[in-house]
Amino acid sequence: MTPAGSLLSATDLRKSYGSTPALDGASFSVHPGEIVAVMGPSGSGKSTLLHCLAGIVAPDAGTITYDGRDLTSLTDAERSALRRGEFGFVFQFGQLVPELTCVENVALPLRLNGVKRKDAERRARARLEQLEVDDVAGKRPGEVSGGQGQRVAVARSLVTDPRVLFADEPTGALDSLNGERVMELLTDAAREARAAVVLVTHEARVAAWSDREVVVRDGRSRDMEFTR
Ligand SMILES: Nc1ncnc2c1ncn2[C@@H]1O[C@H](COP(=O)(O)OP(=O)(O)OP(=O)(O)O)[C@@H](O)[C@H]1O
């Protein structure tokens, strides 16, 4: 069953890697514009849940519904079109392309969607400004700090105006001060864009930026049933 009003939801997801169960009946939902933190100990299945929700990994069983569509019944081509068009991603290590400048990195998802270079770079610069890193636009990732690189990665994840932003330990490689600032900028930008956020973290101070927390333990999820 899809929870009323949810944009993305999953019911009773199961996924094993060989004999290792990663998800064992996990459920999840996020409303449009809502920021949900997925918490839990190491190895509990958080990243696997995120990968299933984003259509990167196919679950062995269970249903995933995005905007009224059954994600598991889409073809690979339909799923990748959905990821490119409606989802954004930011991971622990920015995963910026080292050969490209920061503005080219941010413009890349738009270029892949067929947007002309000038237009793509104009939109990329606006996102860099929003994340307060427009001063590094012309530098390559190897020439910027870890915190700046993560802000560039957040700018890139939002440049296509996604409806869902998937963030897996987005501040995991940063010191606490830089991490807090990245979370503040990420959540401000997501709220302004009305993007829903699925935020995987094992840190309570990172989860504190969310509207709601879901805890995963041994591949099962539990809603904390409180909202901020
Ligand atoms: N590609 C894979 N191949 C084999 N086993 C995997 C794979 N991905 C995850 N697992 C296993 O599935 C379980 C859940 O892993 P997952 O990465 O989802 O947990 P997590 O909660 O995100 O952990 P962490 O906080 O350490 O990143 C673990 O036992 C892990 O070893």
Q: Which ipTM was obtained for this model?
A: 0.95
Does the CB atom of residue 15 touch ligand 1 within 6 A?
Answer: no
pTM of the complete model: 0.93
CA of 38 to the centre of ligand 1 (A): 14
Does the CB atom of residue 201 touch ligand 1 within 6 A?
Answer: no
Which distant-in-sequence residues (6+ apart) come within 8 Å of 182 by Cβ? Answer: 147, 150, 151, 154, 170, 171, 174
Per-residue confidence in pLDDT tens, the chain, 228 aa: 567 789 999 999 999 999 999 999 999 999 999 999 999 999 999 999 999 999 999 999 999 999 999 998 999 999 989 998 999 999 888 789 999 999 999 999 999 999 999 999 999 999 999 999 999 999 999 999 999 999 999 999 999 999 999 999 999 888 888 899 989 999 999 999 999 999 999 999 999 999 999 999 988 887 765 555
Q: Which tokens go with 106?
A: 């941010």
The protein residue whose alpha carbon is closest to atom 25 in ligand 1 is: 42
**Per-residue pLDDT at 228:** 58
Helix (H, G, I), strand (E, B) or coil at 127: helix
Does the CB atom of residue 220 touch ligand 1 within 6 A?
Answer: no
Distance (Å, whole) CA 176 – CA 178: 6
Q: Which tokens go with 27?
A: 């459920």
Does the CB atom of residue 51 touch ligand 1 within 6 A?
Answer: no
Does the CB atom of residue 46 touch ligand 1 within 6 A?
Answer: yes
CA of 22 to the centre of ligand 1 (A): 6
Does the CB atom of residue 19 touch ligand 1 within 6 A?
Answer: no
CA of 117 to the centre of ligand 1 (A): 38
The protein residue whose alpha carbon is closest to atom 12 in ligand 1 is: 22
Does the CB atom of residue 47 touch ligand 1 within 6 A?
Answer: yes
The protein residue whose alpha carbon is closest to atom 3 in ligand 1 is: 17
CA of 159 to the centre of ligand 1 (A): 29
Q: In the chain, where does DSSP find H-type helix?
A: 46-53, 76-86, 102-112, 117-130, 146-158, 176-193, 204-207
Q: Of all atoms in ligand 1, which is nearest to the CA of residue 48?
A: 18
**Per-residue pLDDT at 226:** 53
